[in-house]
Amino acid sequence: MRIVVDWDRCTGMGMCESLAPDVFEVDDDGSLIVHSEEVPEGQEGEVREAVASCPTEALSLEGE
């Protein structure tokens, strides 16, 4: 399963980082860094929660 980011929608709010900090990071200037495009084993729950919680719906999952 792969994480897809709609970069035009992401506003760097960091909700995803707070829910799945191993996968998402928002740096000091508000840019999102995705550490692993593939959802790491054992992190599916956190990543799904992060995807569902993004206020701008910038995140989606591919290959479910």
Pairing of strands 59-62, 2-5: antiparallel
C-alpha span between 11 and 59 (Å, rounded): 11
Site for ligand SF4 (CB under 6 A): which residue of 3, 23, 26, 47? 26
Bridge partners, residue 3, by sequence? 61
C-alpha span between 36 and 34 (Å, rounded): 6
Is 20 near ligand SF4 (CB under 6 A)? no
Contacts with ligand SF4 by CB under 6 A: the residue count is 14
Q: Return the number of the residue (25 or 44) whose C-beta is nearest ligand SF4.
A: 25
Residues that bind ligand SF4 (CB under 6 A): 10-16, 24, 26, 32, 54, 56, 58-59
